[in-house]
Structure 1
Amino acid sequence: MKTTIDQVAKHLGQEVTIGAWLANKRSSGKIAFLQLRDGTGFIQGVVVKAEVAEETFNLAKSITQETSLFVTGTVVEDTRSPFGYELQVKEIEVIHQAVDFPITPKEHGTEFLMDNRHLWLRSKKQHAIIKIRNEIIRATYQFFSENGYIKVDPPILTGSAAEGTTELFHTQYFEEEAYLSQSGQLYMEAAAMAFGKVFSFGPTFRAEKSKTRRHLIEFWMIEPEMAFMDHEESLQVQENYVSYLAQSVLTNCQLELKTLERDVTKLEKIKAPFPRITYDKAIDLLKEKGFDDIEWGEDFGSPHETAIAESFDQPVFITHYPADIKAFYMKPDPDRPEVVLCADLIAPEGYGEVIGGSQRIDDLELMKKRYEEHQLTSDAYKWYLELRQYGSVPHSGFGLGLERTVAWLSGVEHVRETIPFPRLLNRLYP
């Protein structure tokens, strides 16, 4: 019976055949241990010399790393294994023998591993990270579906910028100038006016020459937009969503978290509601922590976000930033127009901002004024202005960066490991 590693528990005591690759092996005189992977998981195959044909045992001792195989054996319980099962091997059929696989069990430098990213993905750690990424994506679709949202896909090629053109990739769109999208948000606002509650999930691009562990050139964003929803209601959606992601990973990725040696007690604390502080109080907090040079009106960098997060054991919202350092579409606080109804969600453990969101301006005249202040061309943004002209309503939205969230929940230091093929300032290969 042919099966996969993630399904062997259903075949306890039965003989099965698994298509797999040899990840690693070790052997003594009378027994060989084969570390097998098939894409769904990892399992140990045990080959006992006295219980198999001589040629099978010799093959088990000679096959090379990453050789592809059909392995037939009996599924048995193994309490010493993190997976809980192993395979008592009876037969081995080589499909293709790999020679001189470049990534060996020894230590390799980061640049070497990145040059071989197409092969590094096969390792147990990378497998665990991408499985957690997949769980976050699955849970995202489930959360928004259960809460009445529909998925809408904004364009990747756009004729305007969501937050200014300084960090955009330019391209020629026949006779027009176009950009790779840095956010689908403006288009999602249009979708919210049609469908009420929507979300998008897709790639975004920032031509930002940053080399920090939190930045990628190409990354994926989840961007919900909600009609008839104010800032406070949006914050509740955000904290419920992030809590849902954390609990889904805890429930469905136990083996992967163990592989990564993640401290799950930190994830267990991620439950709504989250603490909130205003930008004003954040400034005061930073000064108390020794950041004497930070002044009101300045944006926060990574050291500032980390210092703020250290005061909390959960993610923390920083709300009501100065209008001058935030995007043109954010709604001013009616009681204090110099700040806007916005929030950044800062993850603990130094992972920084994972969500940015705000209530959007819904007043036509105020948006016209913002257009003038930011010198937005009327042609490129005409359609966005019209959203305030035809049945405008209070509405809010946010964007969650997938890779930063994967890094945080999995405990990985650098976002380059949280996406299958990262695009960095100095890397477009493989």
Structure 2
Amino acid sequence: MKKITINDMKHHVGEEITLGAWLANKRSSGKIAFLQLRDGSGFVQGVVVKEEVGEELFAVAKGMTQETSMYVTGVVTEDSRTTFGYELQVKNIDVIAEAIDFPITPKEHGTEFLMDNRHLWLRSRKQHAIMKIRNEVIRATYEFFNENGFTKVDPPILTGSAPEGTSELFQTKYFDEDAYLSQSGQLYMEAAAMALGKVFSFGPTFRAEKSKTRRHLIEFWMIEPEMAFVEFNENLEVQENYVSYIVQSVVKNCPLELERLGRDVSKLEKIKVPFPRISYDDAITFLHENGFNDIQWGDDFGSPHETAIAEHYDLPVFITHYPIGIKPFYMQPHPDRDDVVLCADLIAPEGYGEIIGGSERIHDHHLMEQRIKEHNLDPQAYAWYLELRKQGSVPHSGFGLGLERTVAWISGAEHVRESIPFPRLLNRLYP
């Protein structure tokens, strides 16, 4: 018998096939049982008619417990009543393993219960849809950068210094010296850009920030491009083209998943270049005009401030030229002002906050040396980074996109913890 996956059923209408599947749910109506089957590639309904399969097989179908695994054989038919468009007329069921007291039933469960059972919660339709969207964002990311002449480079996860000079790092012992779990691969990507021109990394990063907001994870994944001979405005163009590309890829390739999540696709269809831009100065003025008198020039924005600004636009919005005092040491100063730097944060719509932070990097050796001293960083730890400015330095720029925040926004997930398979949170290291 031809063994296929659910997402391939459209190519086998009228044929008898076999699926390896789990029972997600079931219901029966007299002499017909309806099995909700899943195989990882998708979900489909299996119809078991007692008169066609006999008493014994029908009893098996009605008696199976949620998440029992099986091989199920049947004929693929079209079904215009469902979004998927197909169903399986079941002829035979071969039970592989019965599931015993599966804890996540089709009812409401508390968040902590679901997180304790994350290894099983991933099987649900909603979580399945979010993981498929995450996968599409990853696929489209590689496609975008490969098509635009970037080379993927993998920076180390264990480092001897902090890229942003913060103390919110996970420290470990590296034989007889201190090491840290990386909070960004940026510094190494700058070195790679001097060798390969346009590069990007895609890997895990770690922040020991004790935050419990819906936007934060302790461990998350970052896409970090760096580009030689690219200045500030060119950097913003790459960012908006990239974000537009991945959003439209999800719209095109994940329609079933977006529908399953109840996502308003019209909001995503609007995400096309160019994105609006507002300076930090104008953002402060805007916030004051809208009743946010708690923030003054020189303060960093909190979630309420970012949300208020984002709600003024239908598209992601760049906030540009932040004060030098609230940004990392490596950012290039504005050519006409000494109080702001050539940087931008990209704020997603619908209250999802910053998804990208980027800037033009300092390429002057003496200025970088000065900044390292001003931030009280260990010159020896950054000696190799400083040397990049002595060996044929050029203007260069880069950015970092947080995968989980981006997936949460595109999928409409309430909390960023749903956009990663096994989230690491302030009080959660299990499962």
TM range (shorter): over 0.9
What's 2:142 paired with? 141
Give the alignment of 1:306-345 within 5 angstroms. 306-345=307-346
Q: Are residues 1:184 and 2:171 paired?
A: no
Query: For 1:207-246, what aligned pairs fall within 5 Å after superposition?
Result: 207-246=208-247
Q: Who is 1:112 aligned against?
A: 113
Question: Residue by residue, what CA displacement relative to the aligned partner does 1:322-355 show, whole Å, maximum 9, x if unpaired?
Answer: 0010000000001112100000000010000000
- Spell out the pairing of 1:350-369 with structure 2 (5 A cutoff): 350-369=351-370
What is the aligned partner in structure 2 of residue 158 from structure 1?
159
Aligned counterpart, 1:413: 414
Instruction: Report the alpha carbon displacement of residue 293 of structure 1 after superposing the two structures with TM.
Output: 2.1
Q: Residues 247-396 of structure 1: matches in 2 within 5 Å?
A: 247-396=248-397
Q: Which amino acid aligns with 2:297?
A: W
- Per-residue CA distance 1:143-168 (angstroms, 9 max, x = gap): 00000001000000000001123110
AA of the residue aligned to 2:203 = G
Which shifted more, 380-389 or 162-171?
162-171
One-letter code of the match for 2:157? I
| Cα distance between partner residues in 1 of 2:64 and 2:127 | 23
* 1:112-167 Cα deviation digits (max 9, x unpaired): 00000000000000000000000000000000000000100000000000112311
- Which residue does 1:403 correspond to in 2? 404
> 1:162-177, aligned counterparts within 5 Å?
162-177=163-178
AA at the equivalent of 1:271: K
Structure 2 equivalent of residue 24 of structure 1:
25
Q: Give distance in 2, aligned partners of 1:293 and 1:422.
A: 33
3-state SS of 2:318 partner? strand
- Asked whether 1:91 is paired with 2:92, we answer yes
Structure 2 distance, partners of 1:136, 1:50, is 46
Alpha-carbon contact 2:321-2:343 (below 8 Å) kept: yes
> Matched residues in 2 for 1:224 and 1:176: separation?
30
Matched residue, 1:205: 206
SS in structure 2 opposite 1:98? Answer: coil
Question: 1:130 matched to which residue of 2?
Answer: 131
Counterparts of 1:190 and 1:357, CA distance in 2:
17
What CA distance in whole angstroms lies between the structure 2 residues aligned with 1:289 and 1:212?
Answer: 24
AA partner of residue 100 (structure 1): D
Distance 1:337 1:33 in 2: 69
Give CA deviations for 1:78-110 in whole Å, capped at 9, x if unaligned: 011111100000000000011100000011000
SS at match of 2:339: strand
Secondary structure in 2 matching 1:122: coil
Separation in 2, partners of 1:105, 1:371: 56
Bigger CA drift: 53-62 or 204-213? 53-62
Q: Which amino acid aligns with 1:308?
A: I
Aligned length in residues: 430
Measure how far apart 1:54 and its partner are: 1.7
Q: Structure 1: how far apart are the matches of 2:357 and 2:23?
A: 43
SS in 1 for 2:363: coil
User: What SS does structure 1 have at the residue aligned with 2:62?
Assistant: helix
Matched letter for residue 68 of structure 1: S
CA deviation vs aligned residue, 1:241-280 (integer Å, no higher than 9, x gap): 0000110000000000000000001001100100000000
Q: CA deviation at 1:53?
A: 2.3
How many Å apart are 1:210 and its aligned residue?
0.2
Separation in structure 2 between the aligned mates of residue 162 and residue 289 of structure 1, nearest angstrom: 35
Give me the TM-score of the superposition, normalised by structure 2. 0.99
Q: Structure 1 length as normaliser, TM-score?
A: 1.00
Which structure 1 residue ranges, 4+ long, deviate > 3 Å from structure 2? none
Give the whole-Å Cα distance in 2 for the aligned partners of 1:359 and 1:371: 17
Question: In structure 2, what residue type is equivalent to 1:15?
Answer: E
Contact residue 219 and residue 424 of structure 2 kept, 8 A? yes
Deviation of the 1:372 alpha carbon: 1.0
Distance 2:400 2:383 in 1: 23
1:337 and 1:230 map into 2 onto residues whose CA distance is 18
Q: What is the alpha-carbon distance in structure 2 between the residues aligned to residue 129 and residue 285 of structure 1? A: 34
| Distance (whole Å) between structure 2 residues aligned to residue 114 and residue 372 of structure 1 | 44
What amino acid sits opposite 1:194 in the alignment?
Answer: A
2:398 is matched by which residue type in structure 1? G
Aligned equivalents of 2:213, 2:360: Cα separation in 1: 29
For 1:70, the equivalent position in structure 2 comes to 71
Q: Secondary structure at the match of 1:267?
A: helix
Confirm or deny: 8 A CA contact 2:373 2:379 kept in the other structure. no
Residue 413 of structure 1, CA deviation: 1.1
Distance 2:56 2:336 in 1: 82
Question: How much has 1:422 moved relative to structure 2?
Answer: 0.1
Unaligned stretches of 5+ in structure 1?
none
SS state at 1:265 partner: helix
Contact 2:77 2:89 in 1 (8 A): yes
